Amino acid sequence: MKKISSNYKRLNYAIMKAAMLVIVINIIFMPSFTKYEKDENNLFHIFLNGEDVGTLGKRNDLNELLADARRAAAKGKDSTFFAKGKLEYETSTVVFAKVDSRQEVLERMVSVLKTNEVADRQHAYTVKIGDYMINLSGSDEVKSVLQAALDVYDSDGTFVAQLQKDPSRELNALTAIVVSNQETDDVVTEEPVHDAGFETVMEDSFVAADLADDDKSFDDFDYGIESLEFGSHVEIVDAYLLPDQIEDAGKAASDVTTVQEKDAIYEVQAGDTLSQIAERTNISMDKIISLNDTLDNELSMIREGEELIITQPEPPLSIEREEQEYLEEYYDADIQYVDNDDWYTTDQVTLQQPSAGRRNIVARISYRNEKEVGREVIKEEVLMEAIPKIVERGTKIPPTYIKPISGGRMSSSFGRRSAPTKGASTYHQGIDWATPVGTAVYASSGGTVTKAGWGSGYGNVIYIKHPDGRETRYGHLSKCLVSSGQHVSQGQKIALSGNTGRSTGPHLHFEIRIGGAAVNPLKYLN
């Protein structure tokens, strides 16, 4: 009996040992469990479009799994399959846990994708031209819209729009180019045969003579469009869109060729006046003034390098072209300048008035849409010489002007106002900055002090005369720190602000005068 009991114990031990081994093997190797990995997230709870699709023990193939699910969902469909597929997951670390098989997760993903299918999408092209964008159903429609923009200027159909891979993009995108019909149709299949000997030399000589523009008569030139290009970069990319997102090609062609107003910038050149800019840009002077806050009227000062907003009407797809043209025209000679080193660059005097001449020319003219942007005269026959305008101008850089105090709050601007106190003017000839009494006041520009003392309504006041003929005034001071006849430099401390004279509170009154007349200081401060 004792022997049987001993064998029984050994048998139970063997069974328990085998069972434990099976459990360990299942934990480690069975696909329905995930094993513990120290310091690692080893359980991934997966969601697709917010829906729970199962749990896996690996993360590295989730995107591949979603791609397989998309292929499975699209299987058997005649059209392209589209569905929203936002993949998310939550991670945790466990010793062991039951996980789903890859196939189970795949099937749930397929179900979610089919539920979120977007029907009725079709292949199309999105055409981007700057900020403008249109959707068209196919490449033929894209080319027809682009061709419509070319045909505005090329009624003979000499130039055609073609699509090619966009070299500036790494992705599979197209762009548009313009080629002549000759480049499209003429295909050279073999090398041309050249004549040899004396005949060839003579023929080449005559060809060279034909190409010399100076020797041609006006009738010998070929007039018309020489080149045509898109003035904006055109990008074409694949898209899959709903039918109501795709535009009619005819309407799109009308849209891209219709002129639309948009702001453009004109940089003021030396010698420019507002009237000249208006004539050059074909925009009324009143419109230019209304678009720019820095301009009050047609007499407003403009400076070289200043940028003015102008309205530049253009279609969404601009066309640039070069044309060879014969013109009979009146023309102006270039302005001739006489430099005066004793004058400032703001000073100039006309020494000789111009007179237009007459000539016949052949010119290669560059256009952007309807606007001429460049001209090269190839042949010229002058019938009457133009008389140039001669202008004497200064070369010295004029003084600059800075704000005369640090900080301060502008309490009264230049121009019309209600009288702040009895006896005050209703036309403010300067600007006021509210600031505590005793604030340092600095010379806005270098010059000579012509007055430093009491100035009636100004209270304590300082006048400074500057080398360019302008004058600055500083009023309502509590103390003058300079005296009449003294030379001061720009930024030098000249006074302390105050509340003297006809004043409603502590502030600095500041003026700039040109030719004795007060101007808005804000237009002259750097």
Looking at the structure, tell me whether residues 70 and 174 fall in a common domain.
no
Cα torsion at 340, 346, 351, 353 (round to 10°)?
150
Last residue of a domain, one of 115, 135, 168: 115
Looking at the structure, tell me whether residues 87 and 152 fall in a common domain.
no
pTM: 0.52
The predicted structure's pLDDT at residue 324 = 96
Mean pLDDT of 368-394: 93
End-to-end CA distance of the chain: 116
* 468 close to 344: Cβ distance less than 8 angstroms: yes
Q: How confident is the model at residue 281 (pLDDT cuts 50, 70, 90)?
A: confident
Looking at the structure, tell me whether residues 159 and 135 fall in a common domain.
yes
User: Is residue 198 situated within a structural domain?
Assistant: no
User: Is residue 359 situated within a structural domain?
Assistant: no
The predicted structure's pLDDT at residue 196 = 43
Biggest alpha carbon–alpha carbon distance for the chain: 144
Q: How confident is the model at residue 12 (pLDDT cuts 50, 70, 90)?
A: low
User: Is residue 491 situated within a structural domain?
Assistant: yes
Looking at the structure, tell me whether residues 55 and 143 fall in a common domain.
no
Q: How confident is the model at residue 6 (pLDDT cuts 50, 70, 90)?
A: low
Residue bearing the bigger pLDDT, 413 or 197: 413
Tens of pLDDT along 50-85? Answer: 999 999 877 667 888 888 998 888 887 766 677 778
- Report the distance separating Cα 42 and Cα 35, nearest Å: 8
Cα torsion at 458, 461, 464, 465 (round to 10°)?
40
The predicted structure's pLDDT at residue 131 = 83
Tens of pLDDT along 421-469? Answer: 655 667 889 999 999 999 999 999 999 999 999 998 899 999 999 998 8
> Closest Cα to residue 235, out of 132, 159, 313, 368?
132
As to burial, measured by CB atoms within 10 angstroms (0-12 exposed, 13-18 middle, 19+ buried), residue 473 is: buried
Boundaries of domain holding 155: 124-184+217-256
Q: How confident is the model at residue 160 (pLDDT cuts 50, 70, 90)?
A: very high
Q: How confident is the model at residue 162 (pLDDT cuts 50, 70, 90)?
A: very high
**Beta-strand relationship, 336-344 and 390-396:** parallel
Q: How many CB atoms are closer than 10 A to CB 348?
A: 17
User: Is residue 16 situated within a structural domain?
Assistant: no
Task: Spell out the SS3 assignment of 35-96.
Answer: ECCCCCCCEEEEEECCEEEEEECCCCCHHHHHHHHHHHHHCCCCCCCCECCCEEEEEECCCE
User: Is residue 334 situated within a structural domain?
Assistant: no
What SS3 class is residue 277? helix
- Report the distance separating Cα 148 and Cα 155, nearest Å: 10
- Report the distance separating Cα 476 and Cα 519, nearest Å: 19
Looking at the structure, tell me whether residues 442 and 468 fall in a common domain.
yes
Range with the largest mean pLDDT of 11-15, 170-174, 185-189, 451-455: 451-455
User: Is residue 128 situated within a structural domain?
Assistant: yes
Give 183's contacts (C-beta < 8 A, 6+ positions apart).
Answer: none
Helix (H) / strand (E) element for 491: namely none
The predicted structure's pLDDT at residue 389 = 95
Looking at the structure, tell me whether residues 49 and 83 fall in a common domain.
yes
Please provide the average confidence, as pLDDT, over all residues in the chain: 84
Domains in the chain, number: 3
Mean pLDDT of 98-107: 89
Looking at the structure, tell me whether residues 38 and 162 fall in a common domain.
no
Looking at the structure, tell me whether residues 442 and 482 fall in a common domain.
yes
